[in-house]
Each structure stands twice: as C-alpha cells, then as structure tokens.
Amino acid sequence: MSFARPARCLICRFSRAAPTTGPRVPRRQFHLTPTQLDKKDYTLHEISRSMKPEDFKSYTEKEKARLKQQYTPEQLAAIEAGEAAIDPKDLADQFAIRQDPMKLQYLDDFSTIEPGVDKHIRAPESNSDYNATLKTEEDFIDDFARFFAEMPEDATISDWVRFAESTRMTQGKEENELNPNSSLVPDLFQPGETLEGRTSEPPKYFDDGESKARKDMEPDEALKTLMKVTGYSAQEVMRLKARTLVSHAVVNQTRLGKVRSAYVLAVAGNGDGLMGIGEGKSQEAGDARIQATYRAIRNMQPIPRYENRTIFGDVRGKSGAVELKLMSRPPGFGLRCQSLIFEMCRAAGIDDLAARVERSRNPMNTVKAAYQAIMSQRNPEDVARARGKKLVDVRKVYYSGRSDARRF
Amino acid sequence: MSLVNLSHVCSHLNNATKARLGFTSIPNSNLHLKLCLALQNDGFISSVVRGGPTPPAMHSLLGYPTTNDETQGLEPMTQTNVASRRLWLGLKYWQSQPVLSKISMVSKPTRRITIDVAGLSEVIRGDRSSYVEGLRSPGESLYLSTDHGIMEARECVEKKIGGLVLCRVL
C-alpha cells in the first residue's frame, strides 16, 4: 500500500470535473494485494499451438522393425497408409499439447469407455419388446423336438450344451432378451474386473456378516445354549450390540488363601428398543466376558422410548451410593452423558438424553442405577388409564393416524 | 389459609399411599376441600366426602362413600359438629402402584411462591421458572390457588391467570 499520497475521497471518483495536476495514481492504491499486471483469460483460440510440421516425422527403420513385432504385415501397411494420408502441416495445425491453465491433468487416448467418467453405453430403446412373453412348456417341447430332429448322427455333449445355451426363454424380439434396453446405470466393474485388474475370483457382495458367521460356525456350548434359550440364530446374536462396560478382578478370601477371579459387566441391545445388562464372573477374564455378554443378551427387555429416540420424562435411579438422573431431551440433542450411560443408550437405541450422576460414581453401580432408571419410566398411557382419563396422541392423529411404533 | 395444615395433609397422603391404604381422612377446611376436589377431578383420588370422626358409610354398589347416597345419607354439617368434621378421601391404585404416588408442597408456610402466566407457561413446557421446577414427568401436575379457585397449572395457562403455587403431584 502506498502512502505517498493522501487517501482520496470515494465520491471524487465519480466527479472528474477538475483535472488533477499531479501524476495519475492507480485506483487500486487502497488495496493490500498487488495488482496483477499479466492477468489474462485464456480462450479456446489462444491455446498455444507450438507444434511444427517437422515434429511429425515418418517412422524410422528401427521403429518399423519394432512395429513389425507387434503387427501383421497387413496391419503395418494400413498404419503406413494412414500416416501417409495425413499431411504433417495439418497435424501441426490441429494438434497441440496444451500448456494453458485449463489443460487436462492427464493424458488419455479416450479410446476406451471409462465407466463412471464417460457416458454410459446403453442398448437402444428399439431393443425393447413390450409384447415379449415367457415361453410356455409346449414351446420348450417344440424346441426339444426340433433339436432331436436336427441332431446329427454322431451327436456329442457339446451339441447339447450349445443347444441349452442358445435356446431362448422368451418369445418376441431377440434383442429384448439378450441385450435389453435399461435405464439403470451399469455397474462400475464388469464381472471379473477389479481396481487392480482382471481376476478370476467371483465378485464379492455385501452379505451382512453371514459368511463370517459361517466361517467360525461350530458354536460353542454357551452360544448353543443362548441360541436355544433366546431363539436367536448365530447371525442375529452377532448382529446385536454388545459392550463390556466394567471389568475388574475380585478376590474371595478362603482359609486356603485368596481366590482371584475376573468380574465383567456387559450391556447388550439391538439398537432399536431392546436392552439388557449381564454380569459374569469366572477364573478366566475371557470366560467372564462371554458369560456376561450372553447373560446380557438373555436379559434383554423392551425399553420404553418416546418417539423411539428419548425417554418418557425425567427418571431417577439409585444403586448403592450412586444416584443418578436421566433427563429426556428434544430431537437432535444427542447423548450428553458419561460413557457408561452412553453405551447403554446406544445399545437401547436412545438418541437424545442428558444424565447427571450424583453422589458416588462407581462404574458398576452407575450401570445398574441407569438400568433401573430406564426401566422405571412411567408410561403415559398407563398414567392416563390409572386416572381414568383418555390419552390422545395428537401427533399420531396429525400424521393421519399412522403409528411408526416398531414391534419387538 | 394455613399452609402448615396443607403440608401436613401432603405428608399424610404420601404416608397413606405408601401404606397402600384405601381410605383416609384429613382435617376439614375449605382449602383442603377445594384441593381434594381438584385432585378428584384429575383422577388422583376416587372420592371426597365430608364426614365425622368415624368413616362415612360405604355406598352399597360403588364400595366407597358418596355425597349423594340416598340410602345411607350423610350427616349434615352444623355449627355444633363443624369442629369434628373431617374429609374422607378414597385413594386409588393401579397395577399395585398408587395413582397419587407423590404429593409435595412448593410454597412453604414461611415462603409463599406466586407465579404469573408467563412463568407458568414455561413451567408447563418443562422449563424452570424462578423457584418452580418444570413439569418434566408424564402426568406431573401442579396446583395453584387463584382468584378463580384451585386449579391445575395447565388450566391456569388456558385461562391466563397466575396465583399461589400450592403443591406438585406426581
């Protein structure tokens, strides 16, 4: 910024009545950024054409020898004829390696269709045949009869395969069956194509963890018992949200000495209104964890939820010296509570909640108190029934009486 | 208008519902009667009958005393028996839980709390207003003594009147 001259009045710019005596100062003097002297907008006609006819030379003997390895003599003759047909002057005129700012950042020959980048190739609409029908059993019998009638004397299995593959399933236009017109976007990868290249592996589709469950099938005794008791399949058990919340070592003092074992408190839920907690204790920490998780799954109970997102009113829970308060909150509030209650809410499918843990904050008792609080919610329907009132959910009536309450 | 007696009534009702009593009595006064009628109107208690030191006779069909019982009849209140009158309340239970599970005073005998319509509309929406906590649990009610009698907070907001906050019922 130049301070050589005093700042000029903004309005002075519009009244150019009195000619200034001093040297003209550029208008941009109030600006901090320097002026761009070479500010140029490139247009299509200004793309540099720096190629010369001399740049396009015919093939040398060495190059021809290398081409001979790749192409047949006929192909080579065609290439040479093509090269000879184009004047190098025209090439230099029309071909350019662009250097301008708008140039493409890659070199591409554009000869292949890139799915996802290029326009999709679709079969023409004329391939459609709206009157096409599936062949009836009689039609297939006719096809078989024709095949047997025209079967050569020394028929092999390949004749049968060819017939089976080429027999059509519909009557009507042939293109309609083989290459139908579709408005669906084609897949990014054709069968057998991957990012790395072509593979012979079958394509992988999302299978919702079933293959994983199948891999380590052979459920152990505990899981088998759980499946028998709850009626869940192994996949359904895997899909449940289970979390270990508390785990520590406990000691039983006997006359023989201290017997150590692991204690685990776990929560399980389906993330949509079912939640339970379970405790496990065993010599091994892993056993205790499995025990706790499976007990939590067995203990899963429906959780009352308001609008499937928060709790009904404020509730209090108490376990030991832990006293806590769970508070319902408006949509979009989120789970503003401590980690243990957060995990329980995640498992139960509660999205909006605030919590306050008062007095002690022992983790085990916090979980138990939170569970007690969640289960002690008062159902407005019951409250209304008890008082002899009738409860009308105005919001359900507003949405044409539709209820989106899910069944457990 | 003694809030001391009203506090005693609240404590007594809490004790009675915890003991799962079906029937109890409170001292007779106009304030207690109006509040009990408001509670009965909202379904917290089943019956309110003014009787003597002994409970009034039950209605032969309903199983609780009523004021308009023609067969049994009620002893009319006179100048001679007014001091011995008591209010007999029928308590309600639903699924082994008391319908009136908790009743607590908001105003205290030594500190009366009044609230205006603006504050009251915040309270019924679940927000705190000065000394009055919001009504945040399903079915929670707040009773006020107003110029137009004893009313529930929501009714007060409908009628745009404020008043003295008496008690909170859950």
> What are the tens digits of pLDDT across the range A278-298?
999 999 999 999 999 999 999
Q: Does B125 touch chain A (CB under 8 A)?
A: no
Residue A363 in this model has a pLDDT that exceeds 70: yes
Q: What is the pLDDT of residues B34-43, one digit of tens each?
A: 999 999 999 9
Residue A114 in this model has a pLDDT that exceeds 90: no
Nearest to B139 among A314, A327, A380 (CB): A380
Distance in Å, alpha carbon of B71 to nearest chain A alpha carbon: 27
In Å, how far from its chain's centre is CA A196?
Answer: 21
Residue A13 in this model has a pLDDT that exceeds 70: no
Query: A313, B94: Cβ pair inside 8 Å?
Result: no
Q: CB within 8 A of A71, min separation 6: which ones?
A: A79
Per-window interface: B 35-94 vs A, CB < 8 A: 42-44, 92, 94
Q: What is the pLDDT of residues A242-267, one digit of tens each?
A: 999 999 999 999 999 999 999 999 99
Distance in Å, alpha carbon of B44 to nearest chain A alpha carbon: 6
User: Minimal Cα distance from B43: which residue of A?
Assistant: A387
- pLDDT, position B156: 94
Distance in Å, alpha carbon of A272 to nearest chain B alpha carbon: 22
Query: A382, B94: Cβ pair inside 8 Å?
Result: yes
Asked if residues A384 and B139 have their Cβ atoms less than 8 Å apart, the reply is: yes
Of A41-55, A350-364, B123-137, B150-164, the poorest mean pLDDT is in: A41-55
Domain with residues A223-302, CATH architecture: 2-Layer Sandwich (3.30)
Q: CB within 8 A of A252, min separation 6: which ones?
A: A258, A259, A261
Of A52-61, A76-85, A102-111, A386-395, the poorest mean pLDDT is in: A102-111
- Rounded Cα distance, A383 and B100, in Å: 10
A&B contacts, CB < 8 Å? 38
Nearest to B44 among A313, A314, A387 (CB): A387
Q: What is the pLDDT of residues A130-169, one digit of tens each?
A: 889 999 999 999 999 999 898 888 888 888 888 888 888 8
Asked if residues A382 and B94 have their Cβ atoms less than 8 Å apart, the reply is: yes
Distance in Å, alpha carbon of A356 to nearest chain B alpha carbon: 15
Q: Does B106 touch chain A (CB under 8 A)?
A: no
What residues does each domain of chain A span? 53-94, 223-302, 315-396
Distance in Å, alpha carbon of B92 to nearest chain A alpha carbon: 8
Asked if residues A115 and A188 have their Cβ atoms less than 8 Å apart, the reply is: yes
A3-28: average pLDDT = 49
Q: CATH number for the A315-396 domain, one of 3.30.230.10, 3.40.50.720, 1.10.3720.10, 3.40.50.11440? A: 3.30.230.10
Taken in order A38, A42, A43, A49, is the CA torsion positive or negative?
Answer: positive
Query: B139, A379: Cβ pair inside 8 Å?
Result: no
Q: Does B127 touch chain A (CB under 8 A)?
A: no
- pLDDT, position A199: 73
Query: B139, A383: Cβ pair inside 8 Å?
Result: yes
- Rounded Cα distance, A25 and A57, in Å: 55
Query: B42, A378: Cβ pair inside 8 Å?
Result: no
Query: A379, B140: Cβ pair inside 8 Å?
Result: no
Taken in order B154, B156, B157, B158, is the CA torsion positive or negative?
Answer: positive
- Rounded Cα distance, A352 and A306, in Å: 10
Q: What average pLDDT does the structure give for chain A? A: 81
**Whether the complex's predicted ipTM surpasses the cut of 0.90:** no
What residues does each domain of chain B span? 3-98, 106-169
**CATH class assigned to B3-98:** alpha beta
Query: A386, B99: Cβ pair inside 8 Å?
Result: yes
Which of B147, B148, B161, B150 is closest to B118 using CA atoms? Answer: B161
Band (pLDDT 50/70/90 cuts) for residue B10 is very high
**Residue located via tokens 């057998």:** A192
Tell me what percent of the residues of chain A surpass a pLDDT of 90.
43
- pLDDT, position A3: 45
User: Minimal Cα distance from B135: which residue of A?
Assistant: A313
- Rounded Cα distance, A328 and A349, in Å: 14
Distance in Å, alpha carbon of A365 to nearest chain B alpha carbon: 24
Query: A313, B92: Cβ pair inside 8 Å?
Result: no
Q: CB within 8 A of A383, min separation 6: which ones?
A: B138, B139
- Rounded Cα distance, A304 and A306, in Å: 7
Contacts 24+ apart (CB under 8 A), A327-333: A327/A353, A327/A354, A327/A355, A327/A356, A327/B136, A328/A352, A328/A353, A328/B136, A329/A353, A329/A354, A331/A307
- pLDDT, position A392: 74
Domain with residues B106-169, CATH architecture: 2-Layer Sandwich (3.30)
Asked if residues B134 and B122 have their Cβ atoms less than 8 Å apart, the reply is: yes
Nearest to B137 among A314, A382, A386 (CB): A314
A2 against B122, higher pLDDT: B122
One-letter amino acid at A114 equals E
Nearest to B136 among A313, A386, A388 (CB): A313
Q: Does A310 touch chain B (CB under 8 A)?
A: no
